Amino acid sequence: MVSVGSEPVMPTALKILVAGGFGVGKTTLVGSVSEVPPLETEEHMTEASLGIDDLSGVEGKSSTTVAMDFGRITIAPELVLYLFGTPGQDRFWFMWDDLATGALAAVVLADTRRLDASFASVDFFEAREIPFAVGVNCFDGRRDCTPEEVRAALDLDPSTPVVLCDVRDRADSKALLLTVLETARARAAARLTSLTGP
């Protein structure tokens, strides 16, 4: 609880999902901004994943999220975000509906080396009308595509933001989350206007 003036105020807690393909940086994003030690369900990959998990472009990956990641960031004294990172592999998608329950919005992380791995996440949030922004994780500072090229490749609605970022950097990750919050606010305002009129 925070105090504004002399009145105690309970902060508003908002749930944000962090989704995307296998090895795109979801765990890294949650860890880079969380003000509490993040909960990670990382497990070492074994030979059992051979032929199941596609390591193209992430050959050095040795662990993977098997349930979810969880972190928390205070955006303002009265606003706290709870971040839930989804597992990226197809075999864990059955968990996504449960994780999405109560979510205000989502981040879809994309890797330009494997943009096709983002299609399922984009489809998931569009089908459920959950506002989202796409964060293009620029590994090692590489910016191979423009936001417009990514938007065209993913066939995104013009209102869906595309942000180039490095999720290892706290400032970049926080800016991406603020973009997602603004996207959710704009969507809610548009819905309210359509219900009540101008």
pLDDT tens for residues 15-72?
Answer: 999 999 888 899 999 999 999 987 765 555 455 555 555 555 555 545 555 457 899 9
Q: Are strands 79-85 and 162-165 parallel, antiparallel or unpaired?
A: unpaired
Question: ∠135-11-188 over CA atoms, to 5°?
Answer: 50
Lowest mean pLDDT, pick from 33-47, 53-67, 114-128, 180-194: 53-67
pTM: 0.80
